[in-house]
Amino acid sequence: MNHQEQQGFLTFAANTQDVDYLHLAYLQALNIKATQKIKSFAVIVDPATYQLIEDYHRQAFDYIIETPASTTGPYGLEAQAFWLTPFKETIKLESDLLFTTSIDHWWTAFRLRDVVLSTGCRNYLQQLSASRRYRKLFDDNNLPDVYNGLMYFRYSKTAADFFRCAAEIFNNWSAVQNALLNCRDPEPSTDVVYALAADIVGRELCTLPSVDFINFVHMKPSINEYPETASFQDMYVTEFDDGMIRINNINQYHPIHYHEKDFPTKEMYDHFRSMAGIC
């Protein structure tokens, strides 16, 4: 291990033909520096994405960690987080997630466990979602209702066991897929892999469902009751004002997993760059 700091945020950015994840990670880094007291930010990139990093990225990223491209599907790198993070305590995020307020007090709750996967999600009304449209595989296989979009882990045996287990699932997905009920996923998703790993290691060691604020607003259609073929940006009035994101005039105080990769605007980049004091 090569820990450089006690606490910090971590994300992955491996660009695809359709999505510039590096640019999303850059906005997230600016956002964290503008909204959080703990501001250190690390990004893990594959070699192709590393070649795209410019000086302005380096101003926002405290750590840039290059690692070989995944051979186990688009999310296979995720299982390496434990060994690559520069922090003893890490909040790992999906790159398309933004904060509007500080969650620094969450660190205290996280420390009740060595691994904490966020449980459930919220709609834009800030309500815990009851939708199961995207969770049929979880329900059929009695898996914990966890989301990898926001999770915590610290340097510990439990975390090492969890990520070793996740790596084994990624590496042996065909066998795992055949063992699951009604699984038609040709490639493993991180949500499913982490739910399985938590079930194997012990969900009581990897979740804090009683702490119901450790989750985020997820803007997927069914969670917010709009058509699957539509965009929430077309269905609802979305506004960005002084760092706050509003949807249908409702302030989004929980972290928002905007999901639609064209949601960030130049105004967001400029605002958070200014707040973070980065030219």
pLDDT digits (tens, 9 = 90+) for 74-115: 788 999 999 999 999 999 999 999 999 999 999 999 999 999
* pLDDT, tens only, 36-80: 999 999 999 999 999 999 999 999 999 999 999 988 877 889 999
Cα gap 176→74, rounded to integer Å: 17
Q: Which residues of 105-135 are buried (b: 16+ CB within 10 A; e: fewer)?
A: ebeebbeebbbbbbbbbbbbeeeebeeeebb
pLDDT reported for residue 261? 97
Which domains occur in the chain, in start order?
5-276 (3.90.550)
Asked if 121 contacts 40 with a C-beta cutoff of 8 angstroms, the reply is: no
Question: How do strand 41-45 and strand 238-241 relate by DSSP bridges?
Answer: unpaired
CB atoms within 10 A of CB 45: 26
> What is the overall mean pLDDT for the chain?
96
pLDDT reported for residue 75? 87
| Residue linked to tokens 């291990």 | 1
Q: Looking at the predicted structure, is the pLDDT value of residue 279 above 80?
A: no
Cα gap 225→85, rounded to integer Å: 37
Confidence of residue 136 (pLDDT cuts 50, 70, 90): very high
Question: How do strand 146-154 and strand 87-93 relate by DSSP bridges?
Answer: antiparallel
SS3 127: coil
> What is residue 15's DSSP assignment?
-
Asked if 138 contacts 145 with a C-beta cutoff of 8 angstroms, the reply is: yes
Report, as an integer, the average pLDDT of 130-137: 97
* pLDDT, tens only, 14-38: 999 999 999 999 999 999 999 999 9
Does this model's pTM top 0.85? My answer is yes
pLDDT reported for residue 220? 98
Structure tokens belonging to residue 23: 């640019």
pLDDT reported for residue 58? 97
Report, as an integer, the average pLDDT of 205-229: 96
pLDDT reported for residue 1? 64
Cα gap 74→16, rounded to integer Å: 9
* Helix H or strand E encompassing 6: strand 5-13
pLDDT reported for residue 72? 84
pLDDT reported for residue 123? 98
| Residue linked to tokens 């702490």 | 211
Confidence of residue 2 (pLDDT cuts 50, 70, 90): confident
Confidence of residue 174 (pLDDT cuts 50, 70, 90): very high
Closest by CA position to 153, among listed 101, 121, 197: 197
Q: What percent of the chain has pLDDT over 90?
A: 95
Closest by CA position to 195, among listed 117, 130, 81, 114: 117
pLDDT reported for residue 71? 86
Report, as an integer, the average pLDDT of 219-244: 97
For residue 144, with 0-12 CB atoms within 10 Å meaning exposed, 13-18 middle and 19 or more buried, which class applies?
A: middle
